[in-house]
Amino acid sequence: MPPLDLLRFRLNGQPVEVACESPRVLLDLVREDLNLTGTKRGCDLGTCGCCTVLLDGRPTLSCLTLARLVEGHEVTTIEGVTPPNGLSPVQRAFVEHGATQCGFCTPGFVVTATALLRDVPHPSRAEIERAISGNLCRCTGYRKIVDAIEATGRETGR
């Protein structure tokens, strides 16, 4: 058996202490060990963005991130960007604009969009396209995703 690390980090705002095999990646830790299944596994190679989480607020591919590297850091998953009741503005916009079809890529897009809108409250379409270019969607052709993020920027706090 590979050695175990004792990891301490913050997950969705709460302190977590968990034993974790050294070579384990963050995606496995989150999905398998901590049972937060909102983060999706699409390729294990950093090519689809379905597993995107926030690491200290920055969109990060959890399938390429060694779990032990999050020691002392802050991890936010789709569960963490979702309000306890209802939907966040960008989540509501995704629903209203039809920006989710099969939904498998959606948590990754929502996490990416949440970080973008925090840093750039009113992004242009070009800024949105650049921000989501690491997330693959095979259903929507991206247009409704860009629409949803753009509308969220337009409608919040200007």
Question: Cβ closer to another protein: 22 or 47?
Answer: 47
Question: Which one among 64, 73, 142, 156 touches another protein, defined by CB under 8 A?
Answer: 142
Shortest distance (Å) from residue 72 CB to another protein: 25
Question: Which one among 52, 65, 140, 152 touches another protein, defined by CB under 8 A?
Answer: 140
Site pattern 10..39 for another protein (x: CB under 8 A): -------------------------xxxxx
DSSP state of 72: T
Other beta carbons less than 10 A from residue 156's beta carbon: 14
Q: What tokens does 10 get? A: 């913050």
Other beta carbons less than 10 A from residue 41's beta carbon: 16
Q: What tokens does 109 get? A: 């897009």
Site pattern 64..103 for another protein (x: CB under 8 A): -------------xxx--x----x---x--xxxxx-xxxx
E-strand stretches of the chain: 4-11, 14-21, 52-55, 58-61, 74-76
Closest CA to 139 of 98, 107, 108: 98
Strand partners, 20: 5
Residues making contact with another protein (CB under 8 A): 35-45, 47-48, 50, 77-79, 82, 87, 91, 94-98, 100-107, 110, 126, 128-130, 132-133, 136-146
